[in-house]
Structure 1
Amino acid sequence: MTVRLIATRRIAAAMVAASLATPVAVPVLAHEGHEHGDTPKPVVATAVPTMETSSSDFELVATAHGKTLLIHLDRFATNEPVTGAAVEVTADGETVTAAAVSGEDGVYRLDAAWLSNPGPHELTVSITAADAADLLIGTLEIPASVAGAPPGREHGVSGIVGQVRSDPGLMLGAAMIFLLGVLTSIALTHRGRVRAVAGAVLLGLGLLLASGAAFAHGGEDHSHGDAAKDKPLGTAATPAVTGAPDSPRRLPDGSVYVPKPSQRLLSVRTTVATPQEAAPTVQLIGQVVADPNGGGHVQATQSGRIEPGEKGLPYVGQRVEAGQILATIAPAVNVIDRSGIQQQIATVEQELAIAEGRVQRLRKLEGSVPQRDIEEAEANLTGLRKRRAALSPTLTAKEALRAPIAGVVTANNVKAGQVVEARDQVLFEIVDPSRLMVEAVAFDPRVANAITAATATTADGTSLALEHLGSSLALRQQAIPMLFRIDTPPKGLGVGQPVRLIAQVQGKASGIVLPRRSVVRSASGQPIVWQHESPQRFVARPVRTQPVDGNTVLVLAGVEPAARIVTDGAGLLNQIR
């Protein structure tokens, strides 16, 4: 038993030593001619042969589909499709005019026989647009068989299994390894099999030495970096990044690949970054208020019961004219006050009857009595009539509530039949929507005195142009109230609506002015912009900004001059994963 155990241990040690000494295991996961130094820059995989080239005026992406070549032509600065251009393509000594594709702006198509010939093709594209003309040169690489080309090798367990199945040599090596394992297991589990184990070990090692590198690729070139460097400008790069072909996707380096057809769907537009100077700004919080001359309150001057006017009670949002009757108030008099008023009316009527009789008698004696007595009696009669006229409507006269200005009813605090007290509450509130203001507060007196211009933005993104009217000399909760007039208020703006106010102060700041929609937030919450790095690739650039007004921002750092920055569609690019 001891001899067998010692022999078994010696055999195992011999197997380990042989495996370490033999270079067969080294190339198991390695590839011939593959350098594992610096990681090559990711290259976008495309489903069809693609050529990208550009100039200072145009940007072109050409894709081969069998014998058809599709050309997407855009403006280099703005990424707008170029329509109505004359496009001619010269390749292999043949010049073909591309025709515009109906219903697709900036897409041109041509058919050529040379597209069926594999290999590189030097393309010279002549472009003549309404306002510019240019000549673009590039190389289009046509594979030997685009449709029948073998798929790229997979890595991992599934890749190794696929390679073994497709290569007879690898299949034989795998079979010998399996046989060696079976013989070794039998030898270790049965007695008297020491020589069989030794023979199996020698046989397995011999087969492995004969088959060579079992899992290595024979004669395959994987030098991605050198091949990419040797390709001329405009040549379609060798695919190195897997993924859904010709679909927007995020690349391993964080950039985003968006093919030209997808850019058209997303309406991606760009602008060339140009350094500019802008005034420094401060942000304040304000709210919309009514112009003192463009707003009014309606209150009752007497107690009474609300009765609708001729057009009924006005509703909130209804437009009314100045002087329009909104409602009437019927006087509400209690029993005691009513009896007192009736008693006064009765007394006046009695005095009035006596005065009328006296005036009639004096007029009959005119000439025999002094004229002064007649005039005094007539004056007394007139006074009594006025007293009766003043007391009679007290019980029946109604007060008309009229609109003080023309505008929109923003508050209605009454119902039909409601009893209100004099000067008790605001019954109606009217605001002229064409005369609105913004009130803001500043805690720094230097800001209030240095404002040169201002804009405001509502919660839904509506921008308001403001005119600074002035600031108060009295503090309100240790802050300085400031008032701004809104130039041409938009429809739907309401009194009391909060706004974010951006005020420009004296001074200058240098940077790149971009639309506010160009700046988006990354997954970590950092402000970024998307730079159009190549015709179909966009790179995120972290930036530091400050607002200029409600629609633009000033990029202080993070963007180089002359870079193409996405202005429209940045939010959609930011969502690509």
Structure 2
Amino acid sequence: MTIRRLLAAALIAAGVAAPVAVPAQAHEGHAHGDEPKPVVTTAAPTLETASADFELVAVAQGGGLLIHLDRFTTNEPVNGATIEVTTGGESATAAPVRGEEGVYRLQAAWLSRPGPHELTMSVATADTADLLIGTLELPAAESAPAAGGTGGASALLGRLRPDAALLPGAALAFLLGVLTTLALTRRGRARAVAGAALVGVGLLLAGGAALAHEGEDHSHAEEGKAPAAPMAEGLTGAPESPRRLPDGSLYVPKPSQRLLAVRTTIATPREAAQTVQLIGQIVADPNGGGHVQATQSGRIEPGDQGLPYVGQRVEAGQVLAYIAPAVTVVDRSGIQQQIAAVEQDLVIAESRLQRLRRLEHNVPQRDVEEAEATLNGLRKRRAALSPTLTTREALRAPIAGVVTANNVKAGQVVDGRDQVLFEILDPTKLMVEAVAFDPRVANTVHLATATTADGTVLNLEHLGHSLALRQQAIPLLFRVDAPPEGLSVGQPVRIVAPIQGKARGIVLPRRSVVRNAGGQPIVWQHDSPQRFVARPVRTQPVDAETVLVLAGVEPEARIVTDGAGLLNQIR
């Protein structure tokens, strides 16, 4: 019974001390209606304000005020502006910082006075003038030392009034005495329980003392000397780093936004055509490609300019190489015999023609003409047989273009059948071949755009589609309008083609849409001058460069267009 009474007294004493900290702990994390925006703690005193035309961030650094001025709609830095700052009847004009876009520095006497300062900033440019108002809180040069830590029994008691701290202190002292008595006088299980509880209370008191000790300032060694005020980071001009806030949003200081070239646009609803996405690849135009093949067997010999290399520009009719005829020993012997027989007949025909000419008045003229015809025929036969052993075949380019394949080397023997020796492509004549599984797409598509893997945009004109299915799909053919340099045959492309119907949403550049860690498409909304919030979206393509956001973005929101991919990498 004694043990039970003592334990009951200990529980009552612990209950007396506990209410000091429980209410604050229970309140944390409890939601009260709409959650406010997270408060971003900055190293230096900062003022943020905006209007319909400008967005301004002022940071107290290095004894002065550093002002970043941007366009509200596009987030572009504003250069050449006149900024006049007025507070408490004092006015000063900010000077532009050399080498920095949209950055101005203000030096004024009131910057050395701590406390809140109501600032009225008059901004004027060549085409716009506006008035911005905000409050800048400057910290005091010295601050009172902290009265202990935030946790532990000692810290809790230290924050109470002297009269209110007597009861919890007495309760803790009584609890400690009871547990000590039990640990010294009892045995067995009662002694073990009392010892464990004693250790727990001792750790509680030690933790409170340690936390209270952490809040102490030891910068003053002598008693009675006031502690030095902590120096705020950033007042020396060191820039802050972008970071991800606990709610998933991003804090990106203005200097970092300039480095990342962050640009925004205002979300404006509009209508756009329904589209369909197709997968295709670059193919050669039948009139813009050519193959070079040999008509006979032979050995490859370089042309006057050598063998062409891949990527070389050639003109139509240019000699690419020669083929020396490949004649076997047997064939060569037969040809030589035929040439010898023709030459023998040629000598006989010349002798006969000479005799007939000497007897021209005694023989018929017909015999003379037949002898001349026979002699001319033999000469043509010899002329036709002689080149078979020595004449080379010239391989010429069928079109003007770029050599895309070279399958020969000097001295190589080709058989002259279906072997392609050179391939030539005209880069100004290219097509895109795609497949569609819906017949309605093939019948309604007229114009389209395509995007390569590196982001190159191609304008396409639909030429037609095949009437024969290829793997249950309809082949479509498009002509590339003014093909840019760097395209290759076989290169895959993504095609966006408009079809019948309209959809309403917000049109954004394709680069605005990125993917989060879970693979969900998102856009970054510029929620405040230095804060960005991720918005999950549902989109459909409009063309190769833009998308239509169907859900996830409110009208008039500022959405990041340039730099979204870099913002998405901030952790």
1:99 equivalenced with 2:95 (yes/no):
yes
Per the alignment, residue 568 of structure 1 pairs with 562
Instruction: Find 1:541's aligned residue among 529, 532, 535.
Output: 535
Q: Confirm whether residue 119 of structure 1 aligns to residue 115 of structure 2.
A: yes
**Aligned residue among 89, 109, 117 for 2:105:** 109
Q: Match of 2:479? A: 485
Bigger mean CA deviation after superposition, 169-178 or 81-90: 169-178
Deviation at 1:502, TM superposition (A): 1.6
Match of 2:19 among 23, 26, 46: 26
TM-superposed deviation, 1:148 = 4.6
Shift of the 37–528 alpha-carbon distance from structure 1 to 2, 3 Å rule, reads closer
Deviation at 1:252, TM superposition (A): 2.1
Structure 1 Cα separation of the partners of residues 280 and 118 of structure 2:
62
1:399 corresponds in structure 2 to 393
Segment drifting more, 127-136 vs 335-344: 335-344
What is the 5 A alignment of 1:14-413?
A: 14-17=9-12, 19-20=14-15, 22=16, 24-31=17-24, 38=31, 41=36, 42-65=38-61, 67-145=63-141, 148=143, 180=174, 183-191=177-185, 246-413=240-407
Shift of residue 128, structure 1, vs aligned partner = 0.7
Q: In angstroms, what is the RMSD of aligned CA positions?
A: 3.1
Q: Give the C-alpha shift of residue 552 in structure 1.
A: 1.3
Q: Which of these residues, 7, 10, 33, is aligned with residue 5 of structure 2? A: 10
Q: Contact between 1:312 and 1:326, CA under 8 Å: does it hold in 2?
A: yes
SS in 2 for 1:539: strand
Structure 1 residue identity aligned to 2:312: Q
Relative to structure 1, the CA distance from residue 155 to residue 521 in structure 2 (aligned partners, 3 Å threshold; closer, same or farther) is farther
- 1:567: Cα distance to partner? 0.5
Query: Structure 2: which amino acid aligns with 1:464?
Result: L
CA–CA separation in structure 2 for the residues paired with 1:450 and 1:59: 47
Deviation at 1:111, TM superposition (A): 1.3
Gaps of 5+ in 2: 187-207, 210-237
Q: State how far apart, in whole Å, the 1-side matches of 2:28 and 2:407 are.
A: 83
Structure 1 Cα separation of the partners of residues 416 and 26 of structure 2: 99
CA contact (8 A) 2:82 2:123 kept: yes
Provide the secondary structure at the position in 2 that maps to 1:510: strand
Paired with 2:143 and 2:560, the residues of 1 have a C-alpha distance of 38
Residues 349 and 154 (structure 1), Cα distance of their counterparts in 2 relative to 1, 3 Å cut: farther
CA distance in 2, matches of 1:378, 1:152: 133
Name the amino acid aligned to 1:124: T
- Residue ranges of structure 1 left out of the alignment (5+ in a row): 1-5, 193-213, 216-243
Rounded Cα–Cα distance in structure 1 between residues aligned with 2:72 and 2:519? 30
CA contact (8 A) 1:307 1:417 kept: yes
* 70-79 or 165-174, which deviates more: 165-174
Shift of 1:469: 2.1
Instruction: Give the CA deviation at 1:479.
Output: 2.5
Q: Tell me: CA distance 1:191–1:44, structure 2 relative to 1, closer, same or farther (3 Å).
A: closer
Secondary structure, aligned partner of 1:556:
strand
* Alpha-carbon distance between aligned partners in 2 of 1:329 and 1:380, rounded to the nearest angstrom: 34
How big is each residue's C-alpha offset from its partner over 1:289-333, in whole Å with a ceiling of 9 and x where there is no partner? 112222111101111111112222212122222222211111111
> How many Å apart are 1:184 and its aligned residue?
2.5
Match in the other structure for 2:219: none
CA distance in 2, matches of 1:283, 1:66: 55
Q: 2:508 aligns with which of 492, 496, 514?
A: 514
Aligned-residue offset at 1:190: 4.3
Residue identity in the other structure for 1:122: E
Contact 1:67/1:113 (<8 A) preserved? no
Are residues 66 and 369 of structure 1, via their aligned partners in 2, closer, same or farther at CA, if it must alter by over 3 Å? closer
- Offset of residue 426 of structure 1: 0.2
Distance 1:517 1:35 in 2: 39
Q: Report how far residue 528 of structure 1 moved.
A: 0.4
CA distance in 1, matches of 2:300, 2:367: 48
Q: Name which of structure 1's ranges 465-474 and 305-314 shifts more when overlaid on structure 2.
A: 465-474
Q: CA 1:383/1:543 → structure 2, altered by over 3 Å: closer, same or farther?
A: same
Contact 2:535 2:553 in 1 (8 A): yes
Structure 2 CA distance for partners of 1:167 and 1:315, relative to 1, 3 Å? farther
Q: Judge conservation of contact 2:540–2:547 (CA < 8 Å) in 1.
A: yes
Residue type matched to 2:320 in 1?
L
Q: How many residue pairs are counted as aligned between the two chains?
A: 520
Give the counterpart letter for 1:51 in structure 2.
Answer: L
Partner SS state of residue 359, structure 1: helix
CA distance in 1 between partners of 2:144 and 2:307 (Å): 80
Whether the 8 Å CA contact 2:13–2:174 is kept in 1: the answer is: no
Per-residue displacement from partner, 1:476-527 (whole Å, max 9, x unpaired)?
3333222222223222221111212222223322221111110000111110
Residues 264 and 559 in structure 2, CA contact (< 8 A), matched pair in contact too = yes
**TM-score if structure 1 supplies the norm length?**
0.83
1:572 and 1:336 mapped to 2: Cα distance? 75
Per-residue deviation, residues 96-122 of structure 1 (Å, max 9, x unmatched):
111011111111111122223333222
Report sequence identity in percent. 71
The alpha-carbon distance between structure 1 residues 186 and 554, as it changes in their structure 2 partners (threshold 3 A), is closer
CA distance in 1, matches of 2:239, 2:66: 17
Q: Deviations over 1:262-296 (max 9, x none)?
A: 11111111011112222222111211111222211
Who is 1:219 aligned against?
none
Report the Cα distance in structure 1 between the residues aligned to 2:342 and 2:355, rounded to whole angstroms: 20
Q: Which whole-Å CA distance do the structure 1 matches of 2:418 and 2:534 have between them? A: 62
Cα offsets for 1:223-272 (capped at 9, x unmatched): xxxxxxxxxxxxxxxxxxxxx99432222222111111111111111011
Taking the aligned partners of 1:281 and 1:152, their CA distance within structure 2 comes to 66
Deviations 1:433-486 (A, max 9, x none): 222221112222211121132111122222222222222333333332222222
The answer to whether the 8 Å contact 2:14/2:172 transfers is no
Shift of 1:374: 2.0
1:88 maps to amino acid: E
Q: The residue matched to 2:387 in structure 1 has which SS?
A: helix
In 1, distance between residues paired with 2:304 and 2:325? 18
> Is the 2:14–2:171 Cα contact (8 Å) retained in structure 1?
no
Return the offset for 1:387: 0.8
